[in-house]
Copies of this chain bind each other. A is one copy, B any other.
């Protein structure tokens, strides 16, 4: 299958006006991947608000494909490597955890891959700035490596601007097309960014707080949505109650069960 028709080759001059050689090198060094066709890289960094040029498209399509590709590769990786120990249910947990936009946003920023994003929206720029300045999520002293290997479950509920996850997913699809549809190259490049997620998911049964909670005899009492978001009320067999909060009911339930489990361990 040939390269997709979304990247006209004659764009080269225009692309060189957008990013200097040093900028390409900087991104490619962080990614550990050199693009044959730099248009893919520029496109992955171009928010729709900036793609007024009808030749050079935004990351919209790449993001869409990258999302599905990441999902597929994560499932393949878990099946190939953790095999018999891993039920489809546990793979679902990992998949959900990874497709969490806040996790992907965290990965992009922790790896310093967010600095070249091209957008034309003050509001969105400000939202990105305020996310980057959240010192709870990004302590100044931490290295990229430490960040990627941190257990960031507690931050998956913070609201990172979606554009950050979108760019990460678009980069995945950009590498896929640029490498001539190579699943192996894509996986080799992105796996290091996923950090210790897999190992942690296999080792740490707490990842699936909901299942552990139910196994310990806990009960979901109530789930509802109010002005502040979703709320979930759960009860342990000894009668103790925990209230979880989240953006949606699933996250609220996760939060409540995690509280209950942590207090009982």
Contact = CB atoms under 8 A, between A and B. Distances in A.
Interface string A52-80: 00000000110011001101100110011
The copy count of this chain in the complex is 2
A80 B68 CA distance: 15
A5 interface: yes
A155 interface: no
A4 B80 CA distance: 5
Contacts of A6: 79, 83
Of the four ranges (under 10, 10 to 19, 20 to 34, 35 or more), the interface on chain A belongs to 20 to 34
A75 B79 contact: no
A217 B72 CA distance: 36
Nearest to A1: B184
B91 A79 contact: no
A246 B176 CA distance: 30
Interface string A218-233: 0000011100000000
A50 interface: no
27 contacts: A1-B80, A1-B184, A4-B79, A4-B80, A4-B83, A6-B79, A6-B83, A60-B88, A61-B79, A61-B88, A64-B75, A64-B79, A64-B88, A64-B91, A65-B79, A68-B68, A68-B71, A68-B72, A68-B75, A71-B71, A71-B72, A72-B72, A181-B184, A183-B183, A223-B224, A224-B249, A225-B249
Interface of A: 1, 4-6, 60-61, 64-65, 68-69, 71-72, 75-76, 79-80, 83, 88, 91, 181, 183-184, 223-225, 249-250
Contact of A72 (B60, B69, B79, B224): B69
A89 to B, nearest CB: 10
